[in-house]
Amino acid sequence: MPKQILFACGHTACAGCGQAIAARLVIETAGTNTMVVNNTGCLEVFSTKYPESSWGVPWIHSLFENAAAVASGIEAALKYLGKEDIQIITQAGDGGTADIGLQALSGMWERGHNILSICYDNEAYMNTGVQRSGLTPFDSDTATTPYGKQSFGNPTLKKPVPEIALAHIIPYVATASVGFPQDLQRKVKKALSIKGPKYLQIHVPCPLGWRHTPNLTYKVARLAIETGLYPLIEYENGALSSVRKIKPLPVEEYLKLQGRFKHILNSPEQIKKIQEIANNNIKRYNLLIQEETPSSSI
């Protein structure tokens, strides 16, 4: 633990909020020589309600979609001042990353700013009441993709933001999960050791939006990875450098804990479709543990 508290408790996040835990892990790994730019969203709202703030590092929030551009300005200013050693992190939710913030993010990646952009992916617009985003998973029951007579929930797959990031030819792209905190911290450290734009997408359960009890956050987070639905992958200079190997569990193990998937638990056909998504991930990233060579635990 660092001497200074960089993300203080007392904020107003919900009990069991995966994003709050992940944000603390990120900033405590990054340390005091860091400036943070936050998009509008849960994290900004629950950590900076005037006259209080959880942040022990310089922190700025401007708008919903512009953290990447504000950070670009900060980076340019630090260059002008000759203070290029200061680390810059942008933080956004999945909506602020995959949807409304994507253009600014793309511009920032393409220009090559030395910035780590973090997406806390809780898979819907939670701050406004659980509406679907580009990162909402297939069949998820949200306020704007509700389950109904002719609907099984969200009809689309998650937008492949890590691939979009990779297409910008940036030096580091990875996914992480609050369920694997040491892996998450390793990736933050690794990303910050690399010069240029970095993208880290962190899977963070939201008990309110996913409708699971707050004590299950950690378990739900791990099951997303262990079923193959949320592969933990790491790319350096465009090449896949590590994946977290799994002994895949059936997707029901993950789905059955969450109210957002309750409506499909009795629909084998829908579960099959979701199992397909997991199977594709397992195949594509070669996630299966080989019996003879046990993976190093991370």
Partner 1 sequence: MREFLEGSQAIARAVALCRAGVVAAYPITPQTHIPEGLSEMVANKEISAQIVNVESEHSAASVVLGAAATGVRAYTATSSQGLLLMSEVLFNIAGLRLPVVLTCANRAVSAPINIWNDQQDSISLRDSGWIQLYAENIQEAVDLHIIAYRVAEEKNVMLPAMVCVDGYTLTHGWEAVNLPEQQAVDKFLPPYNPLYKLDINNPLTLGFLADSDYYMETRFAIQKSHQEALKALLEIFQEFNKYFSRDYQNGLIETYRTQDAEKVIVAMGSVCGTIKDAVDVLRKKGKKVGLLKIITFRPFPAEEIYGALKKVSKVAVLDKALSLGGQAPLYSEIRSVFFGKKSAPKFIRSFVAGLGGRDITLDSIINIFNKLSLKETKEEFLDLKPELLQEKL
Report the relative pairing of strands 151-152 and 198-203 from DSSP bridges: unpaired
Q: Which residues pair with 152 in a beta bridge?
A: 147
Closest separation in Å from C-beta 149 to partner 1: 39
Going by the DSSP 8-state scheme, the letter that residue 246 receives in this structure is: B
Cβ proximity to partner 1, 70 vs 200, nearer residue: 70
Q: Are the C-beta atoms of residues 23 and 7 closer than 8 Å to each other?
A: yes
Cβ proximity to partner 1, 104 vs 173, nearer residue: 104
Cβ proximity to partner 1, 44 vs 121, nearer residue: 44
Closest separation in Å from C-beta 240 to partner 1: 28
**CB within 8 Å of 160: residues ≥ 6 apart:** none
Closest separation in Å from C-beta 280 to partner 1: 32
Closest separation in Å from C-beta 57 to partner 1: 5
Cβ proximity to partner 1, 41 vs 248, nearer residue: 41
| 93 backbone dihedrals φ, ψ, rounded to 5° | -80, -170
Nearest-CA neighbor of 274 among 254, 259, 295? 254
What does the binding site for partner 1 look like in residue numbers (CB under 8 A)?
Answer: 32-35, 37-38, 44-45, 48-51, 53, 55-63, 65-66, 68-81, 86, 103-104, 106-107, 110-111
Q: Are the C-beta atoms of residues 169 and 287 closer than 8 Å to each other?
A: no
Closest separation in Å from C-beta 265 to partner 1: 38
Cβ proximity to partner 1, 72 vs 122, nearer residue: 72
Q: How would you classify residue 139: left for phi > 0, otherwise alpha for psi between -120 and 50, otherwise beta?
A: left
